[in-house]
Amino acid sequence: MATLGTPGSTIEILKKYGFHFQKKYGQNFLVDPHILEKITAVSGITKDDFVLEIGPGIGTMTQYLAENAREVAAVEIDKALIPILADTLSSYNNVTVIHQDILKLDIRKLVEQRNGGRPVKVVANLPYYITTPIIMGLLESHVPLESITVMVQKEVADRMQVGPGTKDYGALSLAVQYYAKPEVMIQVAPACFMPRPGVGSTVIRLTCHEKPPVKAEDEELMFALIRASFNQRRKTLVNGIGNAQNLSFAKADVLSALEQMGLPPAVRGEELTLEQFARLSDYLYLLT
């Protein structure tokens, strides 16, 4: 049985260890057992699963994960939390705590060593200051992943799941949708955390595709074009790509590609679907 997850049990641990929250690490600990149970349920973990948790804090969600998964590896950056985790997780023999910055950890190697390279499930109440680098790092490094179930700032969840023509649509939406199917699962109020964050939170599940829904000859080029198109949001796609430092396409070439695709010369990046970015990338790839 999980012993953590309420305000009372959290305060007890914080007092016992004289722990002070570090704002720079995005520390907002969950103190609502219903939310913890829901996250565990929607993550779909079973006793067959190897789970990677990012930022276990004092080990609250880790306890729920340990009870439902075969094995949990929890990566925590804050040194002050390591002895606390040794205490709160002492009754679980299927949890390993790794004291590391998740952005510096070789996750592929970890998954290779600990799960024989088979796909893992990621579950986390993420530190919001590095949500995008964590998600992009996981997706782009081609770590074998089945799903990523994460608590993120509400606005970021919105950006991950929208399509063309909306204000939230951008490079993050396209990257997430290239690698996974995003589904919003739970809305979480600030009162469910200690301390309370100044923003609303959402649990989103990304179910990773076995094969991307579109095929581009050169994936890297496609993402470079996507980033360039959204770098200068109010500019046309032709100007965005033409002005990008890391790309060397003439505006005339981009215009000709758009014409072949039946798109107007003044089209903006936010109007193109993932499929259209893949086609654009294939036209321009022929010129590289």
Exposed, middle or buried, 286 (CB in 10 Å: 0-12/13-18/19+)?
A: exposed
Burial of 236 (0-12, 13-18, 19+ CB in 10 A): buried
84 binds ligand SAM (CB under 6 A): no
Pick one of 17, 21, 25, 283: the residue that binds ligand SAM (CB under 6 A): 25
Number of residues that bind ligand SAM (CB under 6 A): 23
CA neighbor of 258 nearest in space, from 228, 233, 283, 232: 283
Taking CB under 6 A as the criterion, the residue among 13, 52, 65, 102 binding ligand SAM is 102
Task: Supply the minimum distance, in Å, between the C-beta of residue 56 and ligand SAM.
Answer: 5
d(CA 66, CA 91): 10
Strands 193-194 and 29-30: antiparallel
Q: Is 5 in the site for ligand SAM (CB under 6 A)?
A: no
For residue 196, the 8-state DSSP code is: P
Q: Which stretch binds ligand SAM (CB under 6 A): 49-57, 85-93, 173-181, 244-252?
A: 49-57
Cα of 131 vs its chain's centroid, Å? 6
Q: How many other CB atoms are there within 10 angstroms of residue 178's CB atom? A: 21
* Least gap, CB of 281 to ligand SAM (angstroms): 32
**Tokens matching residue 14:** 């914080």
Q: Identify the bridge partners of residue 21 per DSSP, sorted by sequence position.
A: none
Question: In whole angstroms, how close is the CB of 91 to ligand SAM at the nearest point?
Answer: 18
- For ligand SAM, the closer of residues 125 and 149 by Cβ is 125
Using the minimum distance from each CB to ligand SAM, give the nearer residue, 14 or 214.
Answer: 14
Does 37 sit near ligand SAM (CB under 6 A)? Answer: no
Q: Which of 2, 13, 19, 29 binds ligand SAM (CB under 6 A)?
A: 29
Interaction site with ligand SAM (CB under 6 A): 25-30, 54-57, 60-61, 75-78, 81, 101-103, 125, 127, 130
